[in-house]
Structure 1
Amino acid sequence: MTSGITDIIVVGAGVAGSSLACALGKDGRRVHVIERDLAEPDRIVGELLQPGGYLKLVDLGLEDCVKEIDAQRVYGYALYKDGTSSKLPYPLENLHPDVAGRSFHHGRFIQKLRRKAASLPSVRLEQGTVTSLVEEKGVVKGVKYKSKDGQELTAFAPLTIVCDGCYSNLRRSLCYPKVDVPSCFVGLVLENCELPYANHGHVILADPSPILFYPISSTEIRCLVDVPGQKVPPISTGEMANYLKAKVAPQPLASTINTLAGALYKVLCASTDPARKEMREACFDYLSLGGIFSSGPVSILSGLNPRPLSLVLHFFAVAVYGLGRLLLPFPSLNRIQIGARLISGASGIIYPIIKAEGIRQMFFPVTVPAYHRAPPYN
C-alpha cells in the first residue's frame, strides 16, 4: 500500500523533527512527519534550553512552546569546586528581558512542539516506525514504514530528512558513525528543595566527573550524575544506590555545563595525571576571574555565541593560563615538563574539534557558501 506523495518526509518528531516540520509547513511545504511513538517521552535529554536556543525558538515563532509547561527561567550557572564557588551569569544585558535559558520536563516541551506542527494544514503527523529508506540508483526517494495499526506502507517525496535521534535504525545506511561513549548520565528528581542560586544551573566539579543540578519545574530539581564507562551500575542489585550514596552524595554535601561544548567537559573531569589536574585547576580559576574570562565561555555555553573559533581561543587561553601558573614566578624542571604535557593534552582535546568543524569553517567562515531557503511552493 502506498500513501500520498508529499514535498518532504521528516523521520522523527523530536526537537529537530518537529521544529523543522513547523518551519517547512509555514513555508507552504507539504510535510509528512513519521514518529515511532507519539506518547509523551520520558527522557532526561534536552531539559535545559540555552538562551541561544530560546532565540532560535523566537526566530521560528515557537517561543510559546515553553509556555504552560511550568518551564523555569535560567540566568546562568554556579560552579563549585573543593568548597569554593563561582557564579557565572549569562551575558544577557543587551537582550530583551524575556531572553533567558529555559528548563523543563523534556516530554512536555516535545508535545507542545508536536501539537504546533500538527496544527499547520500542510503538516501531517503520523505514528509509525520507519523500517528502511526507498532508494533508486543511490537517490533516496522515500521511506517504508509500519503504521500504528501494523500496515506496511511506503511514502514518497523529493526530499527525506532523517531526525530520529540516537537510536536511529537508519543511520548506518546514511553514514558510518564513530560513536564514543565515555560515560552515561544517571538522572534523579529532587522534590521540594531549593538550590543555593535560584534560576541557575549548578555544576559541581566532583571526582571522577561533574554533577549537575537545575530546575525542571516549580517544585522539582534535576540532578544529573555522570558515571564514567559504557555501562552504569545495575539498579536491581542495589549497586547504583550504593554508588550514589558512597561516591556521589558526599561530594555535593561537602561543597554545596554542560561544559564548553564537549571539549572542556574532558578538562573538568578529575584525573590522577598532574597535567590534567593542573588544567582542571586553571579552568576553574580562569572562569572565576570574571569579565570576559567568564562571560566569553558562558556566551558559548549559552548558545549566544555560536562561533567555534571563540571556543578554540578560550580553550587555549585556559591552557596558557595554566602554563603561566606553573612557570611563574620561578619554573622548575618538573613544572616545565607538566606544562609541556598540559599544552599537549589540551591540543589533543581541541584539534579533533577543529578537524571536525573544518579549518575553513573555523578560521575563514566568510568564505563558506551560504545556502538560503527557496521561495515556498504555490
Structure 2
Amino acid sequence: MEIHYLFGVLVVSFLAVTILFRSKAKKMITDNKVASAPVASTALAAPVDGSPEGADIIIVGAGVAGSALAYTLAKDGRNVHVIERDLTEPDRIVGELLHPAGYLKLVELGLQDCVEDIDAQRVLGYAFFRDGNATKLPYPLQKFASDVAGRSFHNGRFIQRMREKVSSLPNAQLEQGTVNTLLEENGTVKGVIYKTKTNGQELIKKAYAPLTIICDGCFSNLRRTLCSPKIDVPSCFVGMVLENCKLPFPNHGHVIFADPSLILFYPIGSTEVRCMVDVPGQKIPSVVNGEMTNYLKTVVASQLPPELYGPFIRAIEKGNIRSHPNRSMPAVPYPTPGALLLGDALNMRHPLTGAGMTVALCDIVILRNLLKPLQDLHDASSICKYLESFYTLRMPVAFTINMIAGAMHKVFSGSPDKVRNEMRRIILGYLNLAGVFSAGPISLLSGLSPQPLIGIVIHLFAGTIYAVFSLIAPFPSPNRIWILACVIFDGCRIIFPIVKAESGKFSFQQWFQLITGLPTM
C-alpha cells in the first residue's frame, strides 16, 4: 500500500506540472491563433460553379473512407464522382469494430444512422485475459450522451448503408469501375483513367476533376504514384464466426493473451461473435489440407476461456475459415498537386486494436473542415500547399493510435523470453490499478482522449515509474535492477522504431509544438 501511495503521489505531481505547463502555453499562443491557422489564398476564394467536366472531386474507392468522404463533401455542395471497383456488398473479416470516437465522428458527419438496422452491437470496452485472469477496461463514456459507445457489425452491411446515403444525394455520382491510372499534366493530377462496363461491353473512360482523392484501401494500386509505401506484414488474422455464443463480458471486445500470439472475440450481430486468431508471420498453416484446422484445435483452443471453447470448436468444424494479412504502413506521402491519399491507402496500423475506421473518420472530419471554406479547387499548387496542414492536424490521433497498435502487438505477441514476460506483467499490472491508469490508456486507444500526445507521454512516464516500483521495491537487488534495465531497453527498442516510422518528415520543432502547444522559434 505504501508503494502504491508513493507511486500515486509521483504521478499526480507530474500531472500537475504538465497541466500548469499547458495552461502557460495556451496563454502564450492565444493572440496568435488566428494568424497561425491555415487560410486559403485570395485566388482560392473566388466563387465557381464547378469544373467544366462537372465534378469538383473524384473519389477512388467506396469503402468506409471513400463512402463517408463522398457523402460529407456532397452534402457540403461539392459535385462528387465516386468510382468503386465493386459495388456489391463486401464480405470481409476486418473493418468490423468502430470505437466510440469513430461513432462520434459518424454523428458529426451525419452518418450515425448507418449503424442502425444492420444488427450492430454496442461495444462498451475491452476485457483482457491472461493466465486465467481477466481485466475489464470500460470506455470512459461518463461525459457523453447515452447513445455514445463503440459499435461492431458486419463490415459489408455498414458500407452498403453508407453507399445508399451517397446515392441519395443528387450531386454525387456512384459508378462501378476500376481505376488503373492517374491523369497527370506537368506534375499535376487532373483526373483518372478507368475501366467500366456498359451493356456488357468494357469501356475505358477518362474522368476529370480539380482534386482526386485516393481511398482504394489496403491493397491500393495507386498509392505508389503518391508515396513510397513501406509496408510491413508482421502477422495474419485467421477469422471465423461463432454462432449463438455468449461472451464472458457482454458488449465488450475480448483479447486473450495466448501463445504464440493474441486471440480476439467481439460481437458482430445479436447471435454472432467474430473470432480473430493472430498468426505470426506471413506464411500460415494451409486451410485446404487441414493444417489450419489442426493448428486451431491443438494450439489455440486450449488457451481459451471455458465459455468460448465449445463455440470455437463448432466454428472450426463448420468451416468457412478465412485469413487476412495484417499490414502496417506509416503515412509518408509526396505532396502532389491535384491528388491526396486517405484511409488505408494513406496509413495502416496493426488491426489488433480495431482502430482503422476510427482514424479514417477522424481524418475525414479534418479534411472536410479544411476544404469547406474553399469555393474553387482549380489552383492545384495552392491547394496542395494548403492541404499540407492536413498531415499535421491528423498527427495527434493517428500517431497515438498507430503507436499503441504497433507496440501492443509487439509486446503481446508470444515471446518466451523473461524480459518480454516481465513487460507484459507490468503493463497488465498498471492497467489493474484502475482509475486514471486504466481509463487513460483505453481513451488513447479508442481515440477519446482530447490531448492524445500529452496523454501518451504521461502514461509512458507513469508506466516507467510503475515498472521501477514493481521490479525493485521494496528492496533492490542487482538481479532486479538488471531486469528493470532490460525491460526499459526492450521497451525503447519497440517504441522508438514505431515513433521514427510514424513521424515521417516531422521535425523536432513540429513535435515540440504539437505536444506542448508552444510556438516554434
TM-score category (smaller protein):
over 0.9
In structure 1, list runs of 5 or more residues that go unmatched. 370-378
The one of 432, 436, 440 equivalent to 1:292 is 436
- Cα distance, 1:79 vs. partner? 1.0
Query: How far is 1:46 from its partner?
Result: 1.2
Confirm or deny that 1:79 pairs with 2:142: no
> Deviation digits for residues 144-177 of structure 1, max 9, x if unmatched?
0001342000111100000001111111111111
Q: Which moved more, 1:267-276 or 1:242-251?
A: 267-276
Unaligned 5+ runs, structure 2: 1-51, 309-351, 355-403
**Inter-CA distance 254–329: structure 2 relative to 1 (3 Å threshold):** farther
Q: What does residue 46 of structure 2 align with?
A: none
Letter in 1 for 2:497: P
2:353 corresponds to which residue? 258
> Which amino acid letter does the alignment assign opposite residue 282 of structure 2?
Q
In the TM superposition, 1:241-252 aligns within 5 A as: 241-252=293-304
> Aligned equivalents of 1:320 and 1:275: distance in 2?
17
Are the equivalent residues in 2 in contact too, given 1:9–1:160 (CA < 8 A)? yes
In 1, are the aligned partners of 2:512 and 2:518 still within 8 Å (CA)? no
Alignment of 1:1-378 (within 5 A): 4-149=53-198, 150-253=202-305, 258=353, 260-305=404-449, 307-355=452-500, 356-357=502-503, 358=506, 359-360=508-509, 362-365=511-514, 366=517
1:367 CA drift (Å) = 6.0
Tell me the CA shift for residue 298 of structure 1: 0.7
What is the TM-score with the length of structure 2 in the denominator? 0.68
Identity %: 60
Bigger proportion of residues as helix: 2
Q: Please give the root-mean-square deviation of Cα atoms over the aligned residues, in Å.
A: 2.0
Letter in 2 for 1:327: I
Question: Deviations along 1:23-51, whole A, 9 cap, x unmatched?
Answer: 11011111100000111111111101000
Secondary structure, aligned partner of 1:32: strand
- Deviates further, 256-265 or 23-32: 256-265
Question: 1:46-93, CA deviations, whole angstroms, 9 ceiling, x for partnerless residues?
Answer: 101000000000000000000000000011111111011111111001
Change beyond 3 A, Cα 1:147–1:360 = farther
- TM-superposition CA deviations, 1:103-125 (whole Å, max 9, x none): 00000000011111111111100
In structure 2, relative to structure 1, the CA distance for the partners of 1:37 and 1:95 (3 Å cut) is same
- Distance (whole Å) between structure 1 residues aligned to residue 485 and residue 81 of structure 2: 55
Residues 49 and 101 in structure 1, CA contact (< 8 A), matched pair in contact too: yes
Pairwise CA distance, 1:5: 3.9
- Report the 3-state secondary structure (helix = DSSP H, G, I; strand = E; otherwise coil) of the residue aligned with 2:353: coil
Q: CA deviation at 1:271?
A: 1.4
CA distance in 2, matches of 1:201, 1:82: 18
CA distance in 2, matches of 1:362, 1:89: 30
Question: 1:55 and 1:321, CA in 2 relative to 1: closer, same or farther beyond 3 A?
Answer: same
Change beyond 3 A, Cα 1:24–1:128? same
1:50 maps to amino acid: H
In the alignment, the residues of structure 2 paired with residue 368 and residue 246 of structure 1 have an alpha-carbon distance, to the nearest angstrom, of: 57
Contact 2:70/2:172 (CA < 8 Å) preserved in 1? yes
Q: CA deviation at 1:273?
A: 2.3
Q: Is the 8 A contact 1:66 1:109 kept in 2?
A: yes
Which letter does structure 2 place at the counterpart of 1:261?
Answer: A
Task: Indicate the SS of the match to 2:475.
Answer: coil
Letter in 2 for 1:81: R
Specify whether residues 335 and 148 from structure 1 end up closer, same or farther in structure 2 by C-alpha distance, changes over 3 A only. Answer: farther
Contact 1:182 1:229 in 2 (8 A): yes
Q: Secondary structure at the match of 2:419?
A: helix
Q: What displacement does 1:316 show? A: 4.3
How many residues align structurally?
367
Contact 2:120/2:269, CA 8 A, preserved across alignment: yes
Label 1:35 to 1:64 Cα distance change in 2 as closer, same or farther (>3 A). Answer: same
Cα pair distance change 1:110/1:204, threshold 3 Å: same
Q: CA deviation at 1:270?
A: 2.3
CA contact under 8 A between 1:83 and 1:255: conserved in structure 2? no
Shift of 1:346: 1.3
Cα 1:317–1:362 change in 2 (3 A) is: farther
* Runs of 4+ deviating beyond 3 Å: 253-257, 352-355, 357-363, 366-369
3-state SS of paired residue (1:364): helix
In 2: Cα distance, 1:368 partner to 1:74 partner: 39
What TM-score do the two structures reach when normalised by structure 1? 0.92
Shift of 1:317: 3.0
